[in-house]
């Protein structure tokens, strides 16, 4: 992660531009752990097949880098195979764990510790017979695993649901009002603003409401820091995969504050040349699955873009 602990952000000034990089831009500890451990596994086991079930992190460049090392990203494991299967940082359900073991693979669990906490809290609420609402995107791998495990331990799997926004909650308002106990967990990379909206909506209509804020500390820190940087920037550049939840949320949060663009790498900057030339104060942040070398390429390209004559 690129940072300047003393000043709170990294200044990259050019002759005609003030460029600042957020402290918490790039890999979070969970992603860094997953990537480094997976590479190390291959280095220590060169003759073994290493499979990652689903994308280890949401970043195409990193997935391609793993592929070049001989690490295979798969949606489904070969039957009766041998080798090592890595559980990605987003986690997986109990059923997936059992399937890997039953197929004879050695299992290495690289689920982010913060994601593990959400899974554990969701199971706890389900076991205590709360009507469980998971705040997040239903198709996101983290949420898929949380929901599967909560349903496994719930007395009735229909009492576990996912809400991606306030409108989704409003559709089940009648059910919420009838339930004696409502439990809430939230996808680790969601916006804190969404959680606040949900609390304001649910508090008056719930008999008992138990909310566990499971947004990870890194996500909250990254979002708050980016918002502060946006206040002093003509243009904010969010760098990272369009498939990454925490990265897309950064762009969503910053767009109302200042002019904001979301790019995956430095090549996309060519589409915003005039915007970059006319900006005096540029802030840069990046998602938790964005490698430092991609951020550095973005910075280098911006430094070489001058104001129009």
Active site residue ranges = 142
Q: Confirm if 151 and 119 have CB atoms less than 8 A apart.
A: no
Cα 138 to Cα 10: distance, rounded to the nearest angstrom: 36
DSSP count for the chain of H helices, then E strands:
12, 13
- Return the residue matching tokens 């873009």: 305
Integer Rg of the chain from CA: 21
Would you call 68 exposed, middle or buried from its count of C-beta atoms within 10 A (0-12, 13-18, 19+)?
exposed
Q: Which of 309, 235, 303 is nearest to 275 (CA)?
A: 235
Helix (H/G/I), strand (E/B), else coil: 141: helix
b/e per residue 150-189 (b: at least 16 CB within 10 A): bbebbeeeebbbbbbeeeebeeeeeebeebebbbbbbbbb
């Amino acid at each position: 992660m690129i940072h300047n602990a003393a000043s709170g952000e990294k200044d990259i000034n050019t002759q005609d531009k003030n460029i600042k990089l957020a402290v918490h831009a790039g890999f979070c500890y969970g992603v860094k752990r997953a990537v480094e451990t997976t590479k190390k596994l291959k280095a220590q086991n060169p003759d073994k097949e290493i499979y990652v079930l689903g994308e280890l992190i949401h970043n195409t460049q990193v997935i391609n880098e793993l592929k070049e090392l001989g690490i295979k990203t798969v949606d489904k494991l070969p039957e009766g195979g041998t080798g090592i299967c890595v559980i990605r940082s987003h986690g997986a359900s109990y059923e997936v764990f059992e399937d890997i073991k039953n197929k004879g693979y050695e299992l290495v669990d690289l689920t982010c510790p913060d994601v593990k906490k959400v899974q554990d809290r969701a199971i706890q609420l389900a076991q205590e017979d709360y009507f469980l609402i998971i705040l997040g995107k239903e198709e996101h791998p983290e949420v898929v695993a949380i929901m599967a495990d909560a349903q496994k331990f719930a007395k009735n799997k229909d009492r576990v649901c996912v809400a991606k926004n306030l409108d989704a909650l409003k559709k089940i308002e009648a059910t919420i009002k009838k339930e004696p106990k409502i439990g809430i967990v939230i996808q680790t990379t969601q916006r804190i603003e969404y959680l606040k909206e949900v609390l304001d909506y649910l508090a008056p209509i719930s008999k008992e409401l138990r909310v566990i804020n499971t947004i990870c500390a890194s996500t909250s820190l990254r979002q708050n820091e980016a918002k502060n940087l946006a206040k002093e920037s003509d243009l904010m550049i969010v760098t990272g995969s369009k498939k990454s939840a925490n990265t897309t949320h950064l762009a969503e949060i910053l767009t109302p504050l200042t002019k904001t663009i979301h790019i995956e790498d430095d090549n996309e900057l060519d589409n915003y040349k005039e915007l970059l030339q006319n900006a005096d104060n540029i802030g840069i942040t990046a998602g938790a699955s964005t490698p430092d070398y991609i951020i550095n390429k973005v910075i280098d390209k911006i430094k070489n873009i001058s104001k129009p004559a």
